[in-house]
Structure 1
Amino acid sequence: MRRSAVGCLLLFAAAAAAQQAPAGLPQPDKSPRDAEFGVVSRKFGLERRVEMYQWREAEQGYEKVWSAVPIASAGFARGHDNPKDIPLPSRRILPATISIDGKPLDPEAISRLGEWRGFRPNFSALPGNLSATFQPEGDGLGSAENPLDPQIGDLRVTWRELALPALDGRLALEGGVWKLRPQAIDEPVAQAGLPAARVGKGTLGWLIGAGLFVLAILAIVALMRNRRR
């Protein structure tokens, strides 16, 4: 009877530990894809940023700048007119779900831990109608005939992708959803594939708690053995 009780406790401990830490890596349900440009990311989100070359008021007269929003020029001096709209919208493409070990990752954890990084796509798959308008420019595309001398109304397009850091010790399974541990919110994050500079307080607390749990099990086993003698 006692052996059965100890066995159950050990099984419970193993099951609890398995539930506390994910074993696999995050997986999006579908790779984020910008269908208009044929750009695909292997990360967890894709953002297209479109900027237009426009006039803007300056301290002395006007200046030309790249802007992701239309700059109203109705009150500008003659010869400083901007197009009313940016003909190509910016977009953010996110997967419907990101899962670990078949369980969804809480969107709040993605929002808090995710980092948007510059991404240079492979433009070999650029559709024909767009290849007639755009050419490679920097880390993205541009519509200027001469990238060194853009004209008002020219566009440039760049992309970013959403990366997630290493999630070891940062998540707990609650109600079938991987959620961020409260202690992990302010911890420094190590990017996936890179070692952490130090063990965060949340991870350290989890390790201490797991160690104390194992010690408690061993103490129970030792106590039962002593009673048999």
Structure 2
Amino acid sequence: MRSALAMLALLLAGQMAQAQEIPELVPRAGDAIRDPDFRVETRQFGLDRRVEMLQWRREGAGYAPVWNAAVIDSNGFDEAHRNPGELPIGGERWWGTDATLSGQPLAPEVLRTLGEWHEFRPSYRSLPANLSATFQPDGDGLSSSENPLDPQIGDLRVTWRELTLPPLQGKVELRDGIWYPLPAAALPPASVAVVEDPLEPAGTDDRVTLHWWLWGVGGLVGVALVTLVTLRRRRGTSAGARR
């Protein structure tokens, strides 16, 4: 009995080890994406530049300075609280165009529907001279304020976000050699193409087969143990009845 339990434990441990050897398939970004104005770049799937200006906004009977990405209309404000007007440089967004999954291209819809934007602090080593004279690091971005701790109306603040993609198993399907996002309604499993990683070492299929074989053996051992225990109980009951 103990030897059978030990065998079952070893089989289960083998199953877990085999499952951990199979890597989670993830999408791959292509070439770096660059903000052509600030020369900030990311090696993720998209780049987003947000530009805000410190402006006056009416609050109750007075005014308050706020950072805002859109121009706040100051018509009707008193002369001392007029906003500068248009932002000299605006926000912009760039999408990756050569992302792949298992060597096949991802449709732009995958990035737009499944991507996740995250703020990041880029490197400013390639900042053009004219912009490095205007902007200085401020938190995770840049600021045109002479003193970032005391910004003035009309000062600019620039920050960036990069787009990441989660693992895409069960979220995309392969059609005509291109990966597209699955519709919101779940599709039958047969309609989803099987994803295989071209960088996966040879023998992956063998490991998967062995993994399921071990599960089957483990199930058979479990059934055998239950049967063995049941038979022993029945024998014990019959022996007691004969006595």
TM (norm. structure 1) is: 0.67
Q: How far apart, in 2, do the equivalents of 1:184 and 1:143 lie?
A: 47
Q: Hey, what does 2:79 align to over in structure 1?
A: 78
Q: How far apart, in 2, do the equivalents of 1:85 and 1:147 lie?
A: 21
SS of 1:108's partner is helix
Q: Hey, what does 2:37 align to over in structure 1?
A: 36
- 1:176, distance to aligned residue in structure 2 (A): 1.5
Per-residue CA deviation, residues 165-210 of structure 1 (Å, 9 max, x unaligned), is 012333221221112234787xxxxxxxxxxxxxxx97xx999xxx
- 1:117, distance to aligned residue in structure 2 (A): 0.4
CA RMSD between the two structures: 3.0
SS of 2:161's partner is strand
Q: How far apart, in 1, do the equivalents of 2:182 and 2:151 lie?
A: 49
Per-residue CA deviation, residues 123-179 of structure 1 (Å, 9 max, x unaligned), is 122111111100000100001011111101000000000000012333221221112
Identity of aligned residues (%): 50
Q: Is the contact between residue 145 and residue 151 of structure 2 (CA under 8 Å) also seen in structure 1? A: yes
Q: Hey, what does 1:128 align to over in structure 2?
A: 129
SS of 2:50's partner is strand
Q: Hey, what does 2:92 align to over in structure 1?
A: 91
SS of 2:125's partner is helix
Q: How far apart, in 1, do the equivalents of 2:105 and 2:134 lie?
A: 40
- 1:83, distance to aligned residue in structure 2 (A): 1.1
Q: Hey, what does 1:147 align to over in structure 2?
A: 148
Give ranges in structure 1 of 5+ residues lacking alignment: 1-22, 186-200, 215-229
Q: How far apart, in 2, do the equivalents of 1:58 and 1:108 lie?
A: 41
- 1:25, distance to aligned residue in structure 2 (A): 4.3
Q: How far apart, in 1, do the equivalents of 2:25 and 2:102 lie?
A: 6
Q: Is the contact between residue 30 and residue 43 of structure 2 (CA under 8 Å) also seen in structure 1? A: no
| CA gap 1:179/1:157 in 2 versus in 1, 3 angstroms | same
Q: Is the contact between residue 170 and residue 184 of structure 1 (CA under 8 Å) also seen in structure 2? A: no
Q: Does 1:174 align with 2:168?
A: no
SS of 1:130's partner is helix
TM (norm. structure 2) is: 0.63
Alignment of 1:1-229 (within 5 A): 25-182=26-183
| CA gap 1:183/1:64 in 2 versus in 1, 3 angstroms | closer
SS of 2:80's partner is coil
SS of 1:124's partner is coil
Per-residue CA deviation, residues 36-69 of structure 1 (Å, 9 max, x unaligned), is 1111101000001000000011112111000001
Q: Is the contact between residue 56 and residue 65 of structure 2 (CA under 8 Å) also seen in structure 1? A: yes
Q: Is the contact between residue 51 and residue 68 of structure 1 (CA under 8 Å) also seen in structure 2? A: yes
Q: Is the contact between residue 25 and residue 168 of structure 2 (CA under 8 Å) also seen in structure 1? A: no
Q: How far apart, in 2, do the equivalents of 1:174 and 1:132 lie?
A: 50
Q: How far apart, in 2, do the equivalents of 1:104 and 1:206 lie?
A: 14
Q: Hey, what does 1:226 align to over in structure 2?
A: none
Per-residue CA deviation, residues 55-103 of structure 1 (Å, 9 max, x unaligned), is 0111121110000011111210120111110001111011234222332
Larger Rg: 2
AA in 1 matched with 2:103: G
Q: Hey, what does 1:190 align to over in structure 2?
A: none
| CA gap 1:90/1:31 in 2 versus in 1, 3 angstroms | same
Q: Is the contact between residue 169 and residue 206 of structure 1 (CA under 8 Å) also seen in structure 2? A: no
| CA gap 1:184/1:174 in 2 versus in 1, 3 angstroms | same
Decide which moves more: 133-142 or 106-115: 106-115
